[in-house]
Chain A
Amino acid sequence: MMVDEIRKVGVFIKRDFRILFTYRLAFSTAFLGIIFNLFYLVLFGSMFGSRELSALLPYGGDFISYILVGSIGWGFMWSIMGMTSSSLRSEMMMGTMESILLTSTKISTIMLAYTIFGCIFGLLSIGILISVGFLCFGVSFGTATIHTFIIMFLSALLMMGFGMIFGGLTIWVKNIGQVAPLIQNVAMFFCGVYFPITVLPNYLQPVAKYVPFYYSIEGLRKSLIPTTPESEIMRYVIILLVLSVAFILIGLYTLHKGLSKAKKDGSLAFY
């Protein structure tokens, strides 16, 4: 039973890649967009020259490295979230959600498949960003440790949970897709993706502590700085572990609630 569900995850991912490759232009332009965005930010940063920025001193002081790490972490996390919620939305819009649910496939299997597909997509983006960062700007990620990967993994789980919450709400209240970019932009503001939160006004800085994604980005940065004490990195690991478990549980609950509501009001095939 469990083995069957795991095999089904592979079936979904294979299907998604097949469909993705039929949109060759969209597929390649998505990656081109990532590269152009990176160039845009790095060139923007080049205005500051090679001088160290005081706000970035805790992170090594180099703006290009700062931007690159932020882009990698944020891009990876939101590709998971985006893939999870948009896949669910498009299954409902196309009407294939009902066909899938007629096959006794568990909703958690479906969500896991979307998440893993998002992870793969995110990892491809990371690969591109790292390659461009290294080849064009000489930025190396040689300082990455096992903690970096643990933080990435936990961030993936966190985003899976967030994706499930969003997915559940999508099934539940439908027209919620438009809210995602707003959440993304607001969260980005408080997560230190393109600037450290210390540059925010004093009264706004504490808000970051309540934004779960902050711990992913900040943890990722700290794990890449060789001088960061292990105890500090472990603090981020533990916080992310707790947050990801909580988000997954809330996500599963929201999904099941959304699904039973859609089954009650007959709206599974509508968005």
Chain B
Amino acid sequence: MIVADNLTKTFTRKNKKGKKKERIVAVDHINLKINKGEIFGLIGPNGAGKTTTIKMLSTLILPDEGSITVNGFDVVHDAEKVRNNIGVLAGEFTRSLYWRLSGKQNLKFFANLRNMWNHDKRIDELIQLFGLKKQENELIMKYSTGMKHKLALAVALLNDPPILFLDEPLTGIDPVTSFQLKNLIKNMFRDKTIIWASHNLYEIEEMCDRIALINDGKIVLEGTPNELKKKFWDYEKIVVVSNNANAFININGAKIKNNVVEIKTKDVTNTLLEVSDIIQKKNIKVEEIKTIKPTLEEIFMAGVKT
């Protein structure tokens, strides 16, 4: 379990002219509680505070205020125990590897630093799991981005940690590798607690059990994808495309633009019955009827605006 209480981090940076220093609140009194085995999504625009939060959770940045416990260990006072419980895939994951070592040499190096002196079996397992057997002895400067990505994830998983922090884990990789990694995480690492930071809403919606939207260092929204959709968007839309669009003008919530009718409704079933009734009675030719559920993207946009 991961608990962050009142977490705050402020940085001092020079302003654009490079002279005056200004304070930037990167993380502003955040509270998080992530349960064991949960995949928790952190979404937010660039600079929202996702990476800073992950770095604080993984002991790389010290919080100014508040406390964090990871599997019961405090990140400031028990940093070493925290590190033994976590695996981190950094945002700029290619920078976490030695390009002039082979994939296997990288894995061996980091395994030794984790005091895993008998690591051969584990390394072979990971190489097999990520399909890197053929390239295991090649310098990783020759690896494709997808392969480097897999290797960085393998490094994070060396000590089979119960907790994984994945910062933008699918950024910059091709759809096939992305699909493979998502499947791997869904099927093989379901017992792990994962924090998944991204600004890709579709992957967050697909992968995460619960989500927090972070903006300007604050958590704006939190809940399951469905909870957020219900909470933030308590209606759905019915879209009807017809040359006789004006026939639907009397339906409550209908808006007509050219030959498209957009109906906002809280009761989709009854509204659809109403639409079908009009179609039958007036014998209207309809090109398309569809219902649109709220997407996380719309919630995200609304959340960022608030």
Q: Which residues of A contact B (CB under 8 A)?
A: 4, 7-8, 11, 15, 18-19, 22-23, 94-96, 98-105, 260, 263-266, 268-269
The reply to whether B95 and A266 contact each other, CB–CB distance below 8 Å, is no
A-B contact pairs, 14 of them (CB 8 A): A7-B117, A15-B105, A18-B101, A22-B100, A23-B100, A98-B90, A98-B96, A100-B113, A103-B114, A264-B62, A265-B12, A266-B9, A266-B60, A268-B60
Give chain A's interface secondary structure class.
helix
Q: Which of B80-88, B125-133, B171-179, B207-215 contacts A (4 or more CB under 8 A)?
A: B80-88
**Chain B contact residues: helix, strand, loop or mixed:** mixed
Contact A11 B113 (CB under 8 A): yes
Query: Is B122 an interface residue, CB under 8 A from the partner?
Result: no
Are B112 and A269 in contact, CB atoms less than 8 angstroms apart?
no
Whether the Cβ atoms of B97 and A19 lie closer than 8 Å is no
Distance in angstroms from A117 CB to nearest chain B CB is: 14
Bound-state Cα–Cα, A23 to B83, Å: 33
Our pick among A11, A18, A266 for the contact of B61 (Cβ within 8 Å) is A266
CA gap between A269 and B58 in the complex, in Å: 14
A103 and B110 within 8 A (CB): yes
> Closest chain B residue to A5 by CB distance?
B115
Q: Which residue of A lies closest to B165 (CB)?
A: A102
- Bound complex: CA A94 to CA B59 (Å): 19
Task: Indicate which residue in A19, A95, A264 contacts B96 across the interface (CB closer than 8 Å).
Answer: A95
Which of B9, B11, B84, B96 meets A99, CB within 8 Å?
B96
| A23 proximity list for chain B (CB < 8 A) | 100
B98 near A104: Cβ-Cβ < 8 Å:
no
Question: Are A102 and B62 interface neighbours, CB within 8 A?
Answer: no
Task: List B residues 157-183 near A (Cβ within 8 Å).
Answer: none
CB distance from B224 to the nearest CB of A (A): 30
Complex A-B, nearest 9 residue pairs according to Cβ-Cβ distance, in ascending order? A95-B95, A103-B113, A99-B96, A11-B112, A22-B100, A104-B80, A266-B61, A263-B62, A104-B83
Q: Which residue of A lies closest to B60 (CB)?
A: A98
Residues of chain A lying within 8 A (CB to CB) of residue B97 = 96, 99
Complex-state Cα separation, A263 to B58, whole angstroms? 11
- Among residues of B, the one whose C-beta sits closest to the C-beta of A11 is B112
Q: What residues of B have a CB within 8 angstroms of the CB of A263 in the complex? A: 60-62
Query: In the bound complex, do residue A19 and residue B100 qualify as a contact, i.e. CB atoms below 8 Å apart?
Result: yes
Choose from B60, B86, B100, B101 the contact partner of A101 (Cβ within 8 Å): B60
In contact, B52 and A19 (Cβ under 8 angstroms)? no
Contact of A102 with B83 in the complex, beta carbons under 8 Å: yes
Contact A104 B84 (CB under 8 A): yes
Q: For chain B residues 70-102, which have a beta carbon within 8 Å of chain A?
A: 79-80, 83-84, 86, 88, 90, 92, 95-101
Residues of A within 8 A of B113 (CB): 8, 11, 100, 103-105
Contacts of B88 on A, CB cut-off 8 Å? Answer: 102
Q: B112 near A265 (CB under 8 angstroms)?
A: no
**Residue from the set B12, B80, B100 with the largest chain A CB neighbour count within 10 Å:** B100
Chain A residues with CB under 8 Å of B60's CB are: 98, 101-102, 263, 266, 268
- Most chain B CB within 10 A, of A22, A95, A102, A266, is at A102
| B202 partner residues in chain A, CB cutoff 8 A | none
Residues of A within 8 A of B229 (CB): none
B192 at the interface (CB under 8 A from A): no
B221 interface residue per 8 A CB criterion: no
Tell which of A11, A101, A103, A269 touches B95, judged by Cβ atoms closer than 8 Å: A269
- Looking at the assembled complex, report how far the CB atom of A102 sits from the nearest CB atom of chain B, in whole angstroms: 6
Most buried by A among B12, B58, B95: B95
